[in-house]
Amino acid sequence: MLRKHYADMRKKMTEEYKRLLDTEAASRFLISDEYIFAKQILIYAANPYEVETRGIIRAALLAGKKVALPVCEGEGIMSFYYINSLEELTKGKYSIDEPPCEAERKVTDFSDAVCLVPGLTFDPDGNRLGYGKGYYDRFLRDFNGKTVGVCYASFVKWNIPSDKYDVPVQYLLTDGYLRRIKQN
């Protein structure tokens, strides 16, 4: 029910308004310490319901950072692969743009990495409502870098349902702010 609600909210946004919000979110991230001091950016290629990330990807590549995008490999398994340009992406599982799955491009060392995590909505505690497949939660369980949830400010909601398998993010990035989440 919540997934449909936030998908419907996104459908009601004009493309011009969405572009404005996407630009605001990208700008906030690109001037943050989390971006500036990261050597690796793990990032998604946005679908129509998510905050657009291509501007961040281009900026990170131009800045000489290592940039990697996810590939859904098998049931619930997600790996990240480095890219050199956006032109390398092709439609993969779930019609999501994915990088080439070449062994030499697979990320095995996540030192100094920040991972941008997409979501339909987040709550102020970093809990996420995604698409229900659990790929990011499984990946984030063993990830020791910084995690940044990304959604529109108007989509942040109190008390997202979560369970013991859900992994909250450490930061929340929206068109209105980038803030550290206080976690127990």
Residue ranges of domains in the chain, CATH in brackets: 2-180 (3.40.50.10420)
Total-model pTM: 0.94
| CA dist., res. 74 & res. 79, Å (int) | 10
User: pLDDT tens per residue, the chain (184 residues)?
Assistant: 788 888 889 889 999 999 999 999 999 999 999 999 999 999 999 988 899 999 999 999 999 999 999 999 877 889 999 999 999 999 987 788 999 999 999 999 999 999 999 998 999 999 998 877 789 999 999 999 999 999 999 999 988 888 888 899 999 999 999 999 976 5
